[in-house]
A and B are shown apart, each in its own frame.
Chain A
Amino acid sequence: DAGITQSPRYKITETGRQVTLMCHQTWSHSYMFWYRQDLGHGLRLIYYSAAADITDKGEVPDGYVVSRSKTENFPLTLESATRSQTSVYFCASSELYGTGYDQPQHFGDGTRLSIL
């Protein structure tokens, strides 16, 4: 089925550990995004990518690393997890972004990450 899938759906880890959240899309969309959703802050953009090997920072990039070696995959890594990174993480994709002809973003179901 076409779509965007995130894994794992739930993850519990400890402070200081490295954790990677996976995102895979089957539409071959050029743009992919990572957001975090927190009570009191809403959704905030962490990183986005315009194409394979092209990434850029969003509103809250500190403590996160992304890569995009293939168009369909956009993993997000927390190199040394902190409690403040406990959140729900959403991946999204879109054919066009940052223009006057943007296309809607399609979201995955999220990864609920708890850092103890």
Chain B
Amino acid sequence: KQEVTQIPAALSVPEGENLVLNCSFTDSAIYNLQWFRQDPGKGLTSLLLIQSSQREQTSGRLNASLDKSSGRSTLYIAASQPGDSATYLCAVSGYYDMRFGAGTRLTVKP
């Protein structure tokens, strides 16, 4: 059974800092890994999707990497802004099975 863990559970940083969120998974037989953002009272917004054959994806200030062999992914956020404050979740997709981490709650202070 796939298990997905996110560390840290919560993170508070001053505006402008670069930061890294971590995601680990136990079964390396995956199709892809997605990073999502969730704002309070809202659904999830897909940020980046890394296929199993890829090592990283970039979108603006966001960069996500994937190391299947070690069961790890990181989400790097450059020059953080207060608008980045949200919960970030990673999700791992296997054969007709998608498992989510519990999320990292990020607060960026002005």
Interface residues, chain A, CB within 8 Å of chain B?
33, 42-45, 48, 56, 58-59, 90, 92, 97-110
Contact = CB atoms under 8 A, between A and B. Distances in A.
A71 to B, nearest CB: 19
Contact of B42 (A33, A58, A59, A109): A109
A107 B96 contact: no
Contact-residue bracket for chain B: 20 to 34
Residue in B43, B51, B103 with the greatest tally of chain A CB atoms within 10 Å = B43
Given A42-B102, A42-B103, A107 B53 contact: no
Given A100-B51, A100-B52, A110 B42 contact: yes
A42 B102 CA distance: 5
11 contacts: A48-B96, A56-B96, A58-B98, A92-B44, A98-B96, A100-B52, A103-B49, A104-B49, A107-B36, A109-B42, A109-B43
B28 to A, nearest CB: 14
Interface of B: 31-32, 34, 36, 41-46, 49, 51-53, 89, 91, 93, 95-103
Contacts of A42: 89, 100-103
Given A101-B51, A107-B45, 6 more contacts: A42-B102, A43-B100, A99-B31, A104-B34, A104-B49, A106-B46
Contacts, number: 60
Nearest to A57: B96
B44 A100 contact: no
Contacts of A105: 34, 44, 46
Contacts of B95: 98
